Structure 1
């Protein structure tokens, strides 16, 4: 399934252990895709470990690239975050330039998807790593959404609350100004009800941390999202 049709995806952190049975449950859950990605301790070794184990299943797999060293062939997609509200140019275009110097000659551009990230939880690891120091308000988020679609022509605008459940009014504000750019939402989804609520607004729902705290609750988000018409 093409990523633009995804309504639900699980995000698996290469730095966190997960057994084969749980991985099978996620891959066979009916989710539209699995994203392999994390903030710290992402290595080629643990990315390859997940790739090999996930390739037993038919679910599409994307690598969300956070370090150039962890990039490896074999994924269906490569999601490239550019953090629009970062104060550090490294996370806007720095590592991207580094990656293109190293791998640009061999990239299949049909597999490369750029995500315009807007991080809304300044206390999370992603914010601390990328230099996000202030919480964008609604007008900021609208401006970043417009930047993603109209200025940079990005295929994805990603609202990242990373560990905290987002404000629906902020997500709705972003969705209202997007037309061709797809809205991803990630952060703090712990129940089927929360997944359904955000799926009624955003195009794609990303479920991550709850996988490691309550697998049954994580699996329940799949059907909840699918119950919402796109």
Structure 2
């Protein structure tokens, strides 16, 4: 297993607010994915996060918490990813929630486990866009500016292009990957088949598969091998 996220090519994202059976969870955790990310846009609580973590911990897969609610920061994860939504209309999602979390937990966090994600949300219909009041009316130069901001100005180790529920513009994703100097490009959104996973893996460093786990598990599981094949050809 790779415990360094810079080595990850494929990640499954599980939402504590959504039901998943033990049987399905076992298939996900034993799929060969590089890691499990726990997070979501709404309904995240301390209790449902603890519950999901304890179930994932039966397996040897790396597990990271994407912190979207300061009340749901649960110890015991291998890493903590802190999303900074760069195109948020509500500044709480850029620095506000982070300051509140650090007020409570800053003195006890193991900072070697904490990494920032420079997020750009690109699907205006998504829950994440609505909650953060994201400005999704962006042209190529806007997205390039956010990529450079995350990579060079803020030194985020991850630049995350989130299309959340729809399959994005792979030419744009690939262009952003080419711009990045140090950050790793994570892509999430609409990956519900091996074919889309292959395309996304060609364009991004790391792909995130989320909704498909709940909607069409077998297709989701097949994305692991598709990503392997895409990376083998690069």
One fold, TM greater than 0.5? yes
Residue 40 of structure 2 is aligned to residue 28 of structure 1: no
Question: Cα distance, 1:134 vs. partner?
Answer: 3.1
Q: 1:9 aligns with which of 4, 11, 20?
A: 11
Question: What are the ranges of 5 or more consecutive residues in structure 1 without an aligned counterpart?
Answer: none
Paired residue for 1:61?
A: 63
Paired residue for 1:145?
A: 147
The Cα RMSD (Å) is 0.8
How many residue pairs end up in the alignment?
230
Paired residue for 1:108?
A: 110
Paired residue for 1:173?
A: 175
Contact 1:138 1:173 in 2 (8 A): no
3-state SS of the aligned residue for 1:142?
helix
Question: Cα distance, 1:133 vs. partner?
Answer: 3.6
After superposition, give the CA deviation of every residue in 1:65-114 in whole Å (9 maximum; x if it has no partner).
Answer: 01011111100011100000011110000011011110000011111010
Question: What are the ranges of 5 or more consecutive residues in structure 2 without an aligned counterpart?
Answer: none
TM-score by structure 1 length?
0.98
Contact 2:121 2:163 in 1 (8 A): yes
* CA distance, structure 2, for counterparts of residue 172 and residue 127 of structure 1: 22
Greater than 3 Å deviation, 4+ residue runs: none
TM-score by structure 2 length?
0.97
After superposition, give the CA deviation of every residue in 1:154-196 in whole Å (9 maximum; x if it has no partner).
Answer: 1000000000000112102211110210000000011101001
